[in-house]
Amino acid sequence: MDTKRPTKLEFAVQMTCESCAVAVRAALESKPGVKTVSVDLGKEEVMVESALTSAEVQALIESTGRRAVLKGIGGSERDLGAAVAMMAGVGAVQGVVRFLQLSEDRCLVDGTIDGLEPGPHGLHVHTLGDLTQDCLSCGEHFNPFGRQHGGPGNSERHVGDLGNVVAGTDGRASFRLEDSQLKVWDVIGRSLVVDGGEDDLGKGGNPLSKQTGNSGARLACGIIARSAGLFQNSKQICACDGVTLWEERDRPIAGKGRSKTGTETPAANL
């Protein structure tokens, strides 16, 4: 997997004066992994071309004291599709994972999941976008070719096998990876699941190794829904419930409290 290819990130940023724009630009331009920065004070928008995760870029912007919301993500080629999974589950586990089709044979997976136990956790696309029984109703790993479970770098693997993400001592796993088998158009409407333990990538010798990677219980999941690409999300007020983009920013990432009804808000593809 190649984690160095830059992508373009479009942020809405609360900026009210020229000094705000200068501070944001300075926070980004000095960092390794950031290729280009464009700041539009009038539109309160920042475009960043970077090999960093979207969460890392957002943290750099917000280190200046300005709030930021990711509005779109894109690659260097034509728009081939983007998707997002807003994940919620056991206890405080929640996160947002985005998918961007960089080319016909490369899919970027960029995400942040909080509330995990420190260490590696299996990450997989599952067949069903069904959360009626929480993560238990998501079905098995997405495996259209009937192969055995494996690692993301193996030819013998489920298409949905994305390996492990690693949570730090703060319980956060922030990751950015590229996959050669995953296609955005194949996974929209399915689900993404993070597990409680490490995926052995089919090499553990356990009876479950060649089926699931023996990575334990499903901790959190989310339906993979179509998301905005660059310049496709112009909203300032959510049509679903009338709140502003910044009120939306202050809500939980996923799960209870995400919307006024206590459910996830499809319009919040930010």
Helix and strand counts by DSSP (H, E) for the chain: 4, 13
HSE-CB of 129 using CA atoms within 13 angstroms? 12
Name the β-bridge partners of 50.
7, 34
pLDDT score recorded for residue 251: 56
Instruction: Provide the CATH number for the domain around residue 105.
Output: 2.60.40.200
pLDDT score recorded for residue 233: 53
As given in the structure block, the two tokens for residue 256 are 């209870």
Q: What are phi and psi of 227, to 5 degrees?
A: -130, 170
pLDDT score recorded for residue 202: 92
pTM metric for this prediction: 0.76
The answer as to whether 107 is a domain residue is yes
**40 shares its domain with 135:** no
**92 shares its domain with 213:** yes
* pLDDT tens track, the chain, 270 positions: 444 678 888 888 989 899 999 999 999 998 898 999 999 999 899 999 988 888 899 999 999 999 888 887 887 656 778 899 999 987 889 999 999 888 888 898 989 999 999 999 999 999 999 999 999 999 999 999 999 999 998 989 999 999 999 999 999 999 989 899 999 999 999 999 999 999 999 998 888 999 999 999 999 999 999 886 655 555 444 444 444 445 555 555 555 555 433 333 333 333
**136 shares its domain with 203:** yes
The answer as to whether 241 is a domain residue is no
- Each as own residue / partner, the long-range contacts of residues 19-26 (CB below 8 Å, 24 or more positions apart, any chain) are 20/64, 20/66, 23/64, 23/65, 23/66, 24/61, 24/64, 24/66
Q: Strand 68-74 to strand 7-13: parallel, antiparallel, or no bridges (unpaired)? A: antiparallel
**65 shares its domain with 96:** no
The answer as to whether 239 is a domain residue is no
pLDDT score recorded for residue 244: 46
**143 shares its domain with 209:** yes
pLDDT score recorded for residue 243: 42
In the chain, alpha helices (H): 18-29, 54-62, 184-187, 245-249
Q: Answer whether 233's CB lies under 8 Å from 75's CB.
A: no
Domain of 22? 7-74
**100 shares its domain with 201:** yes
